[in-house]
Chain A
Amino acid sequence: MTSALSWYESTARQRLAGLLDASSFGEFIGPEQRETSSHLAVFDLPAQFDDGMIVGHGTLDGTRVWVAAQEGRFMGGAVGEVHGAKLTGLLRAARESSPRPVLILLDTGGVRLQEANAGELAIAEIMRALIDARLAGVPVIGLIGGRAGCYGGGGLIAACCSALAISEQGRIGVSGPEVIETHRGVEEFDSQDRALVWRTMGGKHRRLLGGAELFVDDSLEGFRAAAATLIRQAPALDAATLEAEQARLEQRLERFGGCADARDVWASLGAADARAIPSMDTQEFIALADRLAPSRHDAR
């Protein structure tokens, strides 16, 4: 496995292989158990043997971790009943069996519409299990840089994590671009305007706004290094953290509430040339972000 491989272009299994120490990954409920969705056949849609969710354990620089990875190319990484239950089970194991850090490789458009209620329930169960794990002292780290981004219920799960790492290609939101355009009109948000989508929801903006702790290069090695850093720095989930988060969000609203565009936010932060930010390379951007908006380790 070449560590310079693009995270965005890799499959979920390739990401796990590049993220963890060589040959350390062990899978729970692997594809040979054929725990596939029972809902998709009703719509004459093909199943996938792992239902687009791979869960297991491994080591990262020798530290034992639990891992979950969504395959964004299967149904846009959407969360169905089996897919969600695998992640819920992993998070419960993290709390109940041994308190190792959890890495979630998010790549999802949200709930799988064909499994609507089961998918919505799965999101709620995942959030509950994630919060319970964090309350028990388990760091839960989200890694976001896949094709599907991290939308819908995936955006809610990301918001529950201890810390997030994101690449330029990563996007975080609840309502995705098409959803906003459908409900509010193209004047409000043009989902075909890629530059607008990326500067509103993409990795650079999320890092500058405080939504993600680390901005990383789009490579397996970049995410591996970020995950190793974040599992050591994850904040506790307690009243002090939540109060700090509340204060940070109030300040953010006060400071940027009048901004009509992400570029206005960047200019308010003190960026000399906000228009240059989207084309900056990784190292240049990280240096700028560290100067303009030091990374904050409270909740989101």
Chain B
Amino acid sequence: MEQLHYRHVAAARARGAKAQALVGVVASGDLEVLVQRTLPDRECEVEIRTAIAGFADVWQAVVADFVERRSPGGLKLSVNDGGARPDMVALRLAQAVRAVGEPA
């Protein structure tokens, strides 16, 4: 099991007031993302657990792109991966920010 951990500074605090949200399922080609609003306004952390070892470069690129596009300040995202492709990962991360961005 490979564990990856990324810390970023986001451009702004993520919108919304919900404390947490969960999207996706740990199924083949899919992943789950637990997003929690627990960090200072500009910080963002992404923790990944995946059984598919050796793709840290791709994860790093997808996460960096996600932080730049979605500005998930204040959010900690925890990922359990079921072997998702990078496009699926990007969609689930964006969906998590949308879900936690709803009114409380």
| Chain A residues at the B interface, C-beta cutoff of 8 Å | 11, 13, 31-32, 41, 44-50, 71, 73-74
B30 sits at the interface (CB 8 A): yes
B27 interface residue (CB < 8 Å to A): yes
Known: A46-B81, A48-B25, A74-B25. A32 touches B32 (CB 8 A): no
B49 contacts across to A, CB distance below 8 A: 46-47
**Majority DSSP secondary structure for residues of B touching A:** strand
Distance A48 CA – B79 CA, assembled complex (angstroms):
9
Bound Cα distance from A47 to B51, whole angstroms:
10
| B26 on the A face (CB < 8 A) | yes
Compute how far the CA of A50 lies from the CA of B49 in the bound complex, rounded to whole angstroms: 15
Indicate if B95 sits at the interface (CB-CB under 8 A). no
Tell whether A46 pairs with B50 under 8 Å between CB atoms, given A32-B36, A73-B27.
yes
B54 to chain A, nearest CB (A): 13
Counting residue pairs across A and B whose Cβ atoms lie within 8 Å, the total is 40
Question: Is A32 a contact partner of B20 (Cβ separation < 8 A)?
Answer: yes
Q: Can you list, as one digit per residue, whether each of B1-22 has a CB less than 8 Å from chain A (1) or not (0)?
A: 1000000000000000000101
How far apart are A123's CB and chain B's nearest CB, in angstroms? 22
**In the complex, what distance in Å separates the CA atom of A71 from the CA atom of B24?**
11
CB distance from A126 to the nearest CB of B (A): 22
Chain A CB within 10 A, most for which of B32, B49, B50, B81: B32
Smallest Cβ distance from B79 to chain A, in angstroms? 10
Other contacts beyond A47-B26, A49-B80: 20, CB < 8 A = A11-B25, A13-B22, A31-B32, A31-B34, A32-B20, A32-B36, A41-B1, A44-B51, A45-B51, A46-B26, A46-B50, A46-B80, A47-B80, A48-B25, A48-B26, A49-B22, A49-B32, A49-B78, A71-B25, A74-B27
